[in-house]
Amino acid sequence: MSNKLNLSVSPHIHSKNSTSTIMRDVIIALLPAAVAGVVIFGLRALGVIAVCVAVAVISEYIFNYITKKEQTIGDLSAVVTGLLLALNLPANTPLWQAAIGSIFAIIVVKCLFGGIGCNIVNPAITARVFMLIAFTNLSSAAFPTLVDTVAGATPLAILKDGGLVSIESLVFGTIGGAIGETCKIALVLGGIYLLVRRVITWHIPIIYITTTFIFTFILQDFDILQSLSFTLSGGLILGAFFMATDYVTSPATKWGKVIFAVGAGLLTVVIRTWGSYPEGVSFAILLMNILNPYICSWTPRKLFGGKGK
């Protein structure tokens, strides 16, 4: 029995979770929304998704190659970033603009800050905001090819002008908007998957959406239908389940999540109501990302039998 034994510090067993299994779960959870987007907006949407994902992965690969860093594309986080960005873009986005957005997300927001886990803001959201400002000709929505709907205005714009949008179209997503944000059924399905797989907890999405609803409800003179329409419009559901829950840029503790979600909800309504852009979800999450380190330091977990006692 002369064979050598491996010595290591405990624990000697490990859960099956890894960064790539978590990212794989997020991709699976986004698939219903992606499929719904392609069905509603046509094959052009598929093109945007393909470009964003491919460019994101290639950018990360090249960055790691040039900077002689260990290759990290296997963790699938670049795929998630590319996919999320695409789902936040309208189907008629010029493909070259989609590519530049993807490069910006990966290189500027993620890799230059040190790669996965080190970015201070969510790459996909920041890239979306960057594109909104950089490409002024980029519309914020494309319109369904599937059915005839009110052309020319997104639900949020219609609602802001005092119009009405049917709840049914908001739920099924046969409305104008970004590729992945319109079909609420698909988004909620994906969100439930993430909850069941314990990738995310309920705190951020539920509190974010509820806060937005309540604040809107107050501002809309307690009109339930109108407030519900506002809540189901724009990128709120996509943002609440998939962007605001990004580990790196949101708090880890329960109370941290509560503060983060309430803040994002209030900001979303403020921007939607008084801002010059019709949609506020991206800006709201981005602003809360910046506040995240502070929220984390305000909300540590209580130590069991710690010295403070």
Partner 1 sequence: MASFLHGVKVPHRKNTENMTAVKMPVGKIVSIPTVMHIGAPANVVVKAGDLVKVGTLIAEANGYVSSNIYSSVSGKVLKIEDKLLSNGRVAPSVVIESDGEMTVDEGIKPYEITSKEDLIKALRLSGIVGLGGAGFPTFVKFDTDKAVDELIINGAECEPYITSDSLTMVEKTDYIEYAIQVITKFIDIKRVIIGIEKNKPKAIGKMRQLADRNPIVSIKLLPSIYPQGAEKVLVYHTIGKVIGQGKLPLDVGAIVSNCTTMASIGEFLKTGMPLVEKCVTVDGDAVAKPQNVIVPIGTSVSDVFEFCSGFKKEPKKVLYGGPMMGISVPDMDVPVIKNTNAILAFSEKMAFLPKTTACIRCGRCLNTCPFGINPAGIEKAFKRDDLDAAEKFGVALCMECGCCSFVCPANRPLVQTNKMAKATLLSQKKGK
Nearer CB in complex with partner 1: 14/276: 14
Contacts with 15 (C-beta within 8 Å, 6 or more apart), sequence order: none
Query: Taking CB under 8 A as the rule, does residue 67 contact partner 1?
Result: no
Q: Which of 41, 59, 72, 259 binds partner 1 (CB under 8 A)?
A: 72
Q: Which of 75, 128, 193, 209 binds partner 1 (CB under 8 A)?
A: 75
Nearer CB in complex with partner 1: 4/137: 4
| Cis before 11 (ω within 30) | yes
Query: Taking CB under 8 A as the rule, does residue 68 contact partner 1?
Result: no
Q: Is 210 exposed, middle or buried (0-12, 13-18, 19+ CB in 10 A)?
A: middle
Matching residue, tokens 């996909």: 124
Query: Taking CB under 8 A as the rule, does residue 276 contact partner 1?
Result: no
For residues 114-133, which are near partner 1 according to CB under 8 A?
115-118
Kindly report the three-state secondary structure assignment for every residue of 262-303. Answer: HHHHHHHHHHHHHCCCCCCHHHHHHHHHHHHHHHHHHCCCCC
Query: Taking CB under 8 A as the rule, does residue 151 contact partner 1?
Result: no
Nearer CB in complex with partner 1: 77/212: 77
- Report the Cα–Cα distance between both ends of the chain, in Å, rounded: 52
Nearer CB in complex with partner 1: 155/251: 251
Evaluate whether 81 touches 110 at the Cβ level (below 8 Å). Answer: yes
Q: Which of 138, 248, 258, 291 binds partner 1 (CB under 8 A)?
A: 248
The enclosing H or E element of 65 equals: helix 43-66
Nearest by Cα to 79 from 37, 50, 42, 122 = 50
Q: Which of 1, 43, 66, 133 binds partner 1 (CB under 8 A)?
A: 1
Q: Which of 96, 247, 294, 298 binds partner 1 (CB under 8 A)?
A: 247
Contacts with partner 1 by CB under 8 A: the residue count is 39
For residues 250-269, which are near partner 1 according to CB under 8 A?
251-253
Task: Copy the structure tokens of residue 197.
Answer: 């797989």
For residues 175-214, which are near partner 1 according to CB under 8 A?
none
For residues 17-56, which are near partner 1 according to CB under 8 A?
17-19, 21-22
Paired with 142 in beta bridges are 177
Nearer CB in complex with partner 1: 94/301: 301
Q: Which of 5, 43, 66, 151 binds partner 1 (CB under 8 A)?
A: 5
Smallest gap from Cβ 253 to partner 1, in A, equals: 7
Task: Copy the structure tokens of residue 289.
Answer: 């990302």
Evaluate whether 291 touches 120 at the Cβ level (below 8 Å). Answer: no
Task: Copy the structure tokens of residue 45.
Answer: 């949407």
DSSP one-letter string for 97-153:
HHHHHHHIIIIIIIGGGTSTTT-SS-HHHHHHHHHHHH-TT--S-B--SSS----S-
Nearer CB in complex with partner 1: 113/130: 113
Nearer CB in complex with partner 1: 5/133: 5
Smallest gap from Cβ 305 to partner 1, in A, equals: 4
Q: List residues near partner 1 by CB under 8 A.
A: 1, 3, 5-15, 17-19, 21-22, 72, 75, 77, 115-118, 247-248, 251-253, 300-307, 309
